[in-house]
Amino acid sequence: MFICLSSLTSSKKIYYDVTPAKYVTGLITEKGICEASEKGLKGLFK
């Protein structure tokens, strides 16, 4: 889910990504980029 908050308006827009999981190979987080797996996520948050 993506949430867009515009500083120009008081509105909030919520977006959902419906890409099938088999096509997701990586994740971008506030901690960095990792493989789309439990092992990849654990590596970012050590």
Q: What is the 3-state secondary structure (H, E, C) of the chain?
A: CEEEECCCCCCEEEECCCCCHHHCCEEEECCEEEECCHHHHHHHCC
User: Would you list the domain boundaries of the chain?
Assistant: 20-46
The predicted-structure confidence for 1-46, as pLDDT tens digits, reads as follows: 554 555 566 666 667 778 888 998 998 888 889 999 999 989 988 8
The model's pTM is: 0.54
Question: What residues contact residue 35 under an 8 Å CB cut-off, 6+ apart?
Answer: 25, 26, 27
**Tokens 């996520």 label which residue?**
41
